[in-house]
Structures are given as C-alpha cells and as structure tokens.
C-alpha cells in the first residue's frame, strides 16, 4: 500500500526505477534495441507494464511453463501489480537466459549480463500481443500466476462493464427511496442485462452500443466536470483551508519519558490550535484513528499514516514523528473530519482513550447522506460515465504522480549540485596565497616580493572573503531547495497518492456479484411466499420466508445505497482533487522567489569580486623591482 518512497522522511529515492528495482546489474549494460521496442509496445508509451499485460506477453514466449513461473516470481517480487522499465528489462534478460537453457536467477544474470543471449521474441503485427483482450485462457493465467493477482487486475478491467446501471432511468431514485425502508418491487431488483453483442439493456428498456459509451467516456474526460457548471451543483464539505497544504494546526513532540515495564513505548504530546488542547497519544492511537476514518469515509481521499514498524533507531523515530505530524495536520484541514465526534475526543480528551477507540472501531459505519441532496445539480450521465472511466482516471492520476516526482528528483539533484559547488568555492576561498609569499620571503632572503605582488596578495585576501560569502549562499540555496521538497512537494505527492488509493478502493469494492445473488434470492423467496398462499397450515413457513425476505431486502438496499454513494462521492472527490492542483502554483512560486532572492545576493557578491579584480595590478611591467 505504501509504495511511495518515504513520504514522511528525508529519503529521495527515484520513483519506481530505483525504489522497486530488483537489481541494478543491467544499469550499465547496453541492451539490444528489441528490449526498448518491446517495452514501448507493452507499456503503450507509458512508464510501466501491468501484470496482466506481461502475463499475456510471456505466455507467447517459447520457454517451459516452469521457467515462466520463475520469471514472473522474480520480476514481480517488489511490486506485485506492475513492472518499471528496468525491471521489465530484467525480465526480458531472464527470458533470453531461459531460451538458451541457462539457470534463471539473479546470480546468472549477474554472470552473463555483459554477454546476454539474443532475445528471440516475435512482435510482428500478425503475432503480436492483444493489449485490449487477452487470448490466453483463465486456467492458464491462474496456473502461471499462483498469487492470483491476475484476478484482481481482471476485476479492475471489468468494473465498468459489470457494475449495475444504478443511474439509468429512475434507478437512482429507486435506490434512495428503497434505502429508507420501503419494500422493493420485482421491477427494481432486475439487474442490467448484457448480451453477447456487447450491447446492454437498461432498466427502461433502451439499448446502447458499447462503443458509444466509450466515445462518451472520452468526451467526458476531455471536458472534465464542466457539465455541472451551469447547474446549482456545489462541492460537498468545501472550504478554502483544505487547499492550503501548508496550514498546520497540530504540533507533535516526542515525550522524553518512555512508558512500559519491559518494552518502552514512545508517547507523543499532541497540541491543537483549533481545539486549544494538549493530549498524550501513542502511535497505535493514531493508527486506530486512521482505521476509523478509513471505514467511515471510505469513498473519500484520506491522508496517509506512517506504516507500522518496531522503533529500532533514531532516524525511524524522527521519520515517524514527521509522518504523524503531517497526517494530523492533513486531517485537521478537512472540515468534515474536524467536526467528527470521535476526532474531537481524540484531540481533546486528556486521558487514555483505548476504550473509546475500541468502541468507535466496533460501531463505526459508512457515512450517511441524502443522496438526492448530494447529487443535486450533477448530470446523472456524468456520474455514470466517470464511474465507468475509472481506469482512465487512474492513468491520469498516475501521470500526475510521475510528472511531479520527476520535478522532485530533479530538484534533489540540483540541491546536491548546489552543495557540491558550495564546497568547491569554499576550497578556492581557503587557498593561502598570501602566506605562501611571506613564507618564501622568510626562507629565502634573496627573494623579496615587489610592491605589486604585495598589493595583489592583499587583493586576494579580500577576494577570499567574498568567495566565502558566495559559498555560504550556494549552501543556503541547497538547504532551501531541500526544505521546499520536504515541506511543499512531499505534501502534494502524498495528496496525489491519496487519490490513487481512493480509485483503487472504488475499483476493488465492486459488489455486483453480491447484488445479483441477493436479487435472485429475493425473487425466489417471493415465489415461495406466493406459492404457499395464505393458508393457515403454511403460515409459519410463510412468516419465516417473509422475515428472511425483509432482511435480505434491507441488505440489498444497503449495498445499493453504498454503490450510489460511491459513484456520487467519487464525482465530488475527483473535482476536489482537481482543485488541489492550485497548490502547484504555490510550489513553483516558492522555488522562483527563493532563486530570485539568492540570485540577487549572488550577483552582488560576484560584483564585489569584480570590483576587487579591477584594483589588482594588471600591467606586467608593475611586477618588477
């Protein structure tokens, strides 16, 4: 889950390419063009190759199934769902070894990396891989992928086509009214029907072609959410504070006194400006709070909390402290979280809250909304199309992540270069030129510096002081860049990743199968009750069936409510995510202002150096006795 490189600490590992890298043994090897060509074909000009695409590809390669399983196991050991470019090249290299009968292992790859066998694969159009729909049977996939990750990918791809058409015709109103406790009729429990010609029939009986849906999806992606601009739509729980990612309300300090008899646990002193409170909490308290928020606000973007781990050293504790502070400040920027009753208890009750935590986690339920009010002003078709275009939005979010992380890693390199430049300029400023001439004069009475030489050395002494100032400015700029990366860019990166996790949750929470099962059971119960009739001899059986019917109907209504909430709330959260992009201007404005300020000071320092050089003796005839 937390596969973004240390979003709370100081590390600056490159996204995917270094963080997920299996082995760097091929980084210095010049590979055949077929490697790059194959990657472009399978990645479709993106940055990664998905697991399902790689499985489709390797199934066409002429090697033994045992070898294929070994390659899949090695390639996906660090990231089970996708391959970065370097890891994909490693997988291709392993395939080339397998084709020559060489043992498949990282050790073998290290041994033969400079003499890799020719890769024998066919990428011709008539034999290439179908990236849209695999021709490989599900049995083969399951046998090749023992960890069943293919199942997850296939479910994600089929989410749009298999989800209930809850927003067609009057289905939305039916779902909302049924949630209030009214019995559902036979008409309202009929699911959307898909035929073999890729057409679908809605509840109202209208038929649409699948291609027309995809065309509409693309139009929706191009126009964004602008379709609601002419209506009275309003983003739920919006205030300007939530978009200010620098707004920090919570201060957390590590308590120097450790609690516990055997295992000394760390306590944290938590202060809130908003609540005007100060409480003591443990890491497990924060983790339980995160779990509580995840259950109640399942279909919203939520801040990341540092993962669990045993505190073994100081860097770990420092990173955890930063992470808890970032997490707490992030949830306090959200108005609906600040108003939550349990959040108020967490930040205000100055005593042990373990019982409150346990009670809250046991009783927490998904947030409740009036769905008509929540969707007011939003075109029903837009909600439906966005839900069916989840894969597209996932790619857009991933693209945002890749772009900002490239900026992040580039700035990290700039900061390191600035620090290196600072060290070299400092070395220049410390060259003891003046001492050299004096020492030479004392050791050799025959050598006496002339007036111009003495003046030149005095000038060098002044120049050295200015060069030292320039070195300090370069070092200061390096530290400013590092601060911008930590305080500005990492917050925005974490926000993007929160959106990615939300999309993942929505894609994996498809309950179409559960809905279909309940609907079939309800129809069966109704038929049984009808057949039993009103005879007294069957009254007990009829009453039992009616009780089961009521319970299953309520369960079905709850699921349909959750599905409707997920679709509408996803619309709101995508719009909220778009508005968070305004923080980009804050990031780059900060970088620009810092550079201008330091550049101005730097120019002034170099002008002083220039003025000193103008006072230096420049005529060769002056350097004579």
- pTM of the complete model: 0.59
**Token representation of residue 172:** 């939305």
The DSSP output letter for 265 is B
Pick from 138, 19, 20: which is nearest to 79 by CA? Answer: 20
Name the 3-class secondary structure at 119. Answer: coil
Which is it for strands 277-282 and 267-272: parallel, antiparallel or unpaired? antiparallel
Return the residue matching tokens 């070894």: 97
Which pLDDT value is given to residue 456? Answer: 82
Confidence of residue 457 (pLDDT cuts 50, 70, 90): confident
In the β-sheet with 267-272, what is the strand arrangement from edge to edge?
250-254, 267-272, 277-282
Which pLDDT value is given to residue 262? Answer: 59
Which pLDDT value is given to residue 432? Answer: 56
Cβ-Cβ contacts under 8 Å for 326 (sequence gap 6 or more): 7, 8, 303, 491, 494
Percent of the chain with pLDDT over 70: 74
pLDDT digits (tens, 9 = 90+) for 288-341: 999 999 999 999 999 989 988 877 678 888 889 999 999 999 999 998 899 999
Confidence of residue 345 (pLDDT cuts 50, 70, 90): very high
pLDDT digits (tens, 9 = 90+) for 369-412: 999 889 988 988 889 888 888 889 999 999 999 999 899 899 88
Which pLDDT value is given to residue 114? Answer: 84
Which is it for strands 250-254 and 48-50: parallel, antiparallel or unpaired? unpaired
Pick from 88, 71, 68: which is nearest to 26 by CA? Answer: 88
Q: Which domains does the chain have, with CATH numbers?
A: 24-158 (1.10.238.10), 163-234+376-625 (1.20.1270), 240-368 (3.30.1520.10)
For Cα atoms 510, 498, 378, give the angle at the middle one, nearest 5 degrees. 60
Which is it for strands 193-194 and 199-201: parallel, antiparallel or unpaired? antiparallel
Pick from 140, 160, 95, 102: which is nearest to 121 by CA? Answer: 95
Which pLDDT value is given to residue 536? Answer: 54
Least confident of 179-193, 495-509, 563-577: 179-193
CB 583 within 8 A of CB 245: yes
CB 596 within 8 A of CB 403: no
Percent of the chain with pLDDT over 90: 28
Q: CA–CA separation, 310 vs 371, rounded Å?
A: 43
CB 103 within 8 A of CB 97: yes
Return the residue matching tokens 């990173």: 319
CB 462 within 8 A of CB 412: no
């Amino acid at each position: 889950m937390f596969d973004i490189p240390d979003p709370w600490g100081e590390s600056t590992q490159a996204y995917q390419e270094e963080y997920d890298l299996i082995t760097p043994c091929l980084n210095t090897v010049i590979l055949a063009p077929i490697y790059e060509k194959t990657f472009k074909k399978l990645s479709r000009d993106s940055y990664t190759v998905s697991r399902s695409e790689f499985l489709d590809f390797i199934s066409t390669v002429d090697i033994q199934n045992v070898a294929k399983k070994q390659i899949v196991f090695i390639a996906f050991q660090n990231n089970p769902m996708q391959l970065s470019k370097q890891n994909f090249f490693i997988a291709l290299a392993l395939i080339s070894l397998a084709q020559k009968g060489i043992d498949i292992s990282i050790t073998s790859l290290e041994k033969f990396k400079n003499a890799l066998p020719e890769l024998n694969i066919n990428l011709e159009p008539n034999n290439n891989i179908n990236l849209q729909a695999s021709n490989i049977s599900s049995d083969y996939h399951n046998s090749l992928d023992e960890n069943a990750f293919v199942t997850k990918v296939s479910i994600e791809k089929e989410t749009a086509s298999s989800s209930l058409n809850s927003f067609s015709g009057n289905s939305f109103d039916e779902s909302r009214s049924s949630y209030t406790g009214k019995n559902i009729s036979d008409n309202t429990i009929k699911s959307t029907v898909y035929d073999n010609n890729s057409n679908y029939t809605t509840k109202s009986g209208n038929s649409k072609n699948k291609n027309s849906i995809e065309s509409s999806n693309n139009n929706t992606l191009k126009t964004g959410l602008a379709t609601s601009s002419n209506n009275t739509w309003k983003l739920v729980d919006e205030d300007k504070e939530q978009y200010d990612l620098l707004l920090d309300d919570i201060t957390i300090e590590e308590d120097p006194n450790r609690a516990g008899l055997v295992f000394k646990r760390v306590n944290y002193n938590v202060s809130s400006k908003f609540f005007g409170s100060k409480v003591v909490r443990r890491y497990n308290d924060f983790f339980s709070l995160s779990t509580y928020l995840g259950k109640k606000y399942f279909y919203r973007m939520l801040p990341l909390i540092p993962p669990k781990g045993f505190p073994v050293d100081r860097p770990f504790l420092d990173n955890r402290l930063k992470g808890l502070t970032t997490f707490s400040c992030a949830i306090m920027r959200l108005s609906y979280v600040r108003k939550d009753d349990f959040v108020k208890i967490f930040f205000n009750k100055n005593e042990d809250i373990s019982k409150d935590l346990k009670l809250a986690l046991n009783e927490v339920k998904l947030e409740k909304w009036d769905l008509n009010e929540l969707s007011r002003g939003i075109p029903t078709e837009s909600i439906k199309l966005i839900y069916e275009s989840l894969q597209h939005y996932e790619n857009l979010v991933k693209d945002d992540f890749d772009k900002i992380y490239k900026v992040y890693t580039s700035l990290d390199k700039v900061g390191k270069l600035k620090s290196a430049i600072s060290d070299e300029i400092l070395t220049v400023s410390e060259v003891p030129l003046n001492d050299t001439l004096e020492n030479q004069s004392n050791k050799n009475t025959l050598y006496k510096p002339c007036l111009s030489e003495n003046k030149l050395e005095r000038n060098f002494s002044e120049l050295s002081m200015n060069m030292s100032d320039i070195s300090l400015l370069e070092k200061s700029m390096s530290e400013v860049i590092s601060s911008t990366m930590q305080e500005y860019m990492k917050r925005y990166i974490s926000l993007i990743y929160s959106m990615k996790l939300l999309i993942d949750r929505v894609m994996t929470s498809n309950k179409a199968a559960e809905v279909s099962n309940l609907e079939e059971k309800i129809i069966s119960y109704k038929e049984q009750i009808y057949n039993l009739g009103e005879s007294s001899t069957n009254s007990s059986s009829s009453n039992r069936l009616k009780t089961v019917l009521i319970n299953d109907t309520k369960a079905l209504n709850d699921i349909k409510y959750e599905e409707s909430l997920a679709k509408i709330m996803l619309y709101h959260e995508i719009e909220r995510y778009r508005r968070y992009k305004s923080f980009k201007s804050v990031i780059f404005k900060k970088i620009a202002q810092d550079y201008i300020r330091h550049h101005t000071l730097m120019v002034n320092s170099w002008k002083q150096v220039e003025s000193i050089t103008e006072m230096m003796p420049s005529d060769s005839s002056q350097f004579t006795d």
